[in-house]
Amino acid sequence: MAFGHPSSDERALSSVLGVVLLIAITIVLAAVVGTFVLGIGDQLTSESPQTNLEFSFTNDSVTILHGGGDELMSENINVEVNEEDVSISGSGWDRDPITVGDSMTIEEDDISGDIEPGDRVIVIWTSDDGQRAAILGEETVP
């Protein structure tokens, strides 16, 4: 095997590969910049609030305590017991912002049935534009 100068065919292949890679990098970079310029990037990066919700149960009620983390706004919060919406008005979470130490209590009068073992209590956050949602806390009645 003789080493020498590459033939003109070999050098042409290197040029083509270089051009293809340069075009691919340009397209990817343009897509990333375009995503953030058009505002789509804001939707991709905004996150749900991070909170620590603590649930406590008695025979006929459920208390949910904001135990730490981000502040919440009441209009973004939905509470469900077995997929039934529970009004947070008058519950302690009806004023903004909901901060650490604020709690709400759900009693049997607040839902159509009794609060029973196995019932599922969920706190759901929804973004202002309604496009994103996340479960902030979930617990099953013991």
Residue 80 scores a pLDDT above 80: yes
CA distance 74 to 80: 14
Q: Work out the percent of the chain whose per-residue pLDDT is above 70.
A: 85
Give the number of domains in the chain: 2
| 69: CB partners within 8 A, 6+ apart | 49, 50, 51, 52, 100
Residues 6+ apart with CB under 8 A from 126: 76, 78, 132, 133
Does residue 102 sit in the same domain as residue 40?
Answer: no
Residue 77: the pLDDT is 93
Residue 3 lies in a domain: no
Predicted confidence (pLDDT) per residue in 4-60, tens digit: 666 655 555 677 888 889 999 999 999 888 777 776 655 554 578 999 999 999 888
Whether 2 is covered by a domain: the verdict is no
107: tokens are: 């009693």
